[in-house]
Structure 1
Amino acid sequence: MTDITPAELKQRQAAGETPTIIDVRETWENEEGHIKGSRNIPLGTLPEKVDELEDLKEQEIIVHCKGGGRSASAKALLVQHGFRNVRNLLGGFQAYQQA
């Protein structure tokens, strides 16, 4: 699955869509600002939380961090665990705020 641009995500949200968004930044980063409706699972804890996401394996999941690096790792981890529709938010939260 191809990654997603901040503009595309904002358009979908404006149209009333509520995709599953996972913020892999640290908790303190998420508390400073986050995408409405996102779920915070810091990258360091993601391997132990994968089982909790089992019911999302066939659904679209959008992962993001501050700039795109950690979320690329999160995407790879989820794909490795059998998730089929994982997309990285290009440019991360910084780009989303500016879009």
Structure 2
Amino acid sequence: MESTFLMDNIFFIVAAVLSGVMLLWPVIVRTSVRDIEPKQAIRLVNYEDGLVLDARDDGEYAEGHPPNARHIPAELIGERWQELEKFREKPVVIIATQGLRAGRTGAVLRKNGFKKVFNLNGGIDSWRRENLPLVKK
């Protein structure tokens, strides 16, 4: 009986699912963060006055971070995103060790009106692989 209902109403079911996706699409697109490679990140920082945001925890940050990186751990971005206000219209490149932290950080920034938010593909490990400078403090 259930399969008859599904078959009889497949058009309406598909239409409902598509409608839901279309309604959610702006939210999905608005909170998505594009992955970029280290060389692209450096270009954004050097030529567009972008910011490197290190979203790792305090211990990871102390082990080495890109020069001039701003440090706000992912767990605190919801409380501290206002510190980045002057970068709202500029590129912000998020560095983390795990994609989830960078994704969450990026979603908070996008939700609060930041236009150009990027995730460093491979996180700090890709920065190291490219032999880019790290600072320990």
Normalising TM by the smaller chain, what interval? 0.7 to 0.9
Please report how far the alpha carbon of residue 29 of structure 1 lies from its aligned counterpart in structure 2 after TM superposition. 0.4
- 1:37 alignment counterpart: 68
Deviation of 1:8 (Å): 2.5
The higher-RCO structure (CA 8 Å, 6+ apart) is 1
1:68 deviation in Å?
2.9
Q: CA RMSD in A?
A: 1.9
- CA offset digits 1:23-79 (Å, max 9, x no partner): 000011000011111111001111111122222211111111014331111111110
**Residue 95 of structure 2: aligned partner:** 64
SS of 2:118's equivalent in the other structure is: strand
Whose helix proportion is higher, 1 or 2? 2
Structure 1 residue aligned with 2:40: 8
Gaps of 5+ in 2: 1-32, 131-137
Structure 2 counterpart of 1:49? 80
Residue identity matched to 1:3: D
Query: What is the identity, as a one-letter code, of the residue corresponding to 1:5?
Result: E
Q: Give the TM-score, by structure 2 length.
A: 0.63
Q: Which has the larger radius of gyration?
A: 2
Distance 1:5 1:78 in 2: 20
Aligned-partner residue type, residue 65 of structure 1: A
Number of equivalenced pairs: 96
| Identity score, percent | 30
Q: Which amino acid aligns with 2:62?
A: E
Return the letter of the residue paired with 2:94: V
SS of the counterpart of 1:34? coil
